[in-house]
Amino acid sequence: DGGITQSPKYLFRKEGQNVTLSCEQNLNHDAMYWYRQDPGQGLRLIYYSQIVNDFQKGDIAEGYSVSREKKESFPLTVTSAQKNPTAFYLCASSTRGSYNEQFFGPGTRLTVL
Amino acid sequence: RKEVEQDPGPFNVPEGATVAFNCTYSNSASQSFFWYRQDCRKEPKLLMSVYSSGNEDGRFTAQLNRASQYISLLIRDSKLSDSATYLCVVNLGNYGQNFVFGPGTRLSVLP
């Protein structure tokens, strides 16, 4: 089945630790995205990538880093510099073009202990 | 002014009711428009794209008014399973990476 997978589903982190969230897609999409969602809030864009080896900061990139070494993969690292990392993290992908919708993975729920 | 605004909600309606959601966007250069639904603690899922001529999918009807920069979603004969948060999404173009999400409107359909 084609789709987007994210792992792990739940992640617990101690303060001061870096953690990496996985996102893989087999939809052959060029563009991939990371969003953060806080309880009762909308989605906020962290990073996006239109093509392999290229990515751009979104609205709330501070304290996060990404890489795009393969078309299928767009991992997100939450660093210790992110002051309030507890949130629901969603990865999405889309084809390039102004009229194409995004498809989302199931999300990773990160809790800092 | 926020780029995408939606009815604040929540909407609590009885089964079988018709409910309408409204969304406004601020950027007149917006290219495409979508409604997503998000169940509690789940990922958003595409409900329908919104076209200039309006489109319908079963009990769901979406309308776009570019002149007023306004999008609507109508749900007829609402079901318990329609309970979710409905997200209005606008694509600003620029090679398709510039998606802007509204805050969502929560719907509870009551028995």
> What are the average pLDDT values for consecutive 10-residue runs of chain A, which has 113 residues?
89 91 96 92 91 93 97 96 93 83 95 90
Q: Read off the pLDDT band of B94 (50, 70, 90).
A: low
Chain A residue closest to B30 (CA)?
A98
pLDDT (tens digit per residue) in B81-93: 999 999 999 988 7
Quick one: pLDDT at residue B4? 92
Q: Which residues does residue B87 pair with via DSSP β-bridges, in sequence order?
A: B36
Nearest to A25 by CA among A87, A61, A70: A70
**C-alpha R_g of chain B:** 13
Q: Read off the pLDDT band of B96 (50, 70, 90).
A: very low
pLDDT (tens digit per residue) in B38-60: 999 999 999 999 988 789 999 99
Query: A58 at the B interface (CB within 8 A)?
Result: no
First-to-last alpha carbon distance for chain A, in angstroms, is: 35
pLDDT (tens digit per residue) in A32-47: 999 999 988 889 999 9
Query: A3 at the B interface (CB within 8 A)?
Result: no
Q: Read off the pLDDT band of B98 (50, 70, 90).
A: confident
Which single residue is written with the structure tokens 């929560």?
B106
- Tokens (6 digits) for B97: 């990476």
* Binary contact (A101, B102; C-beta < 8 A): no
Distance from CA of A1 to the nearest CA of B (A): 17
Distance from CA of A18 to the nearest CA of B (A): 24
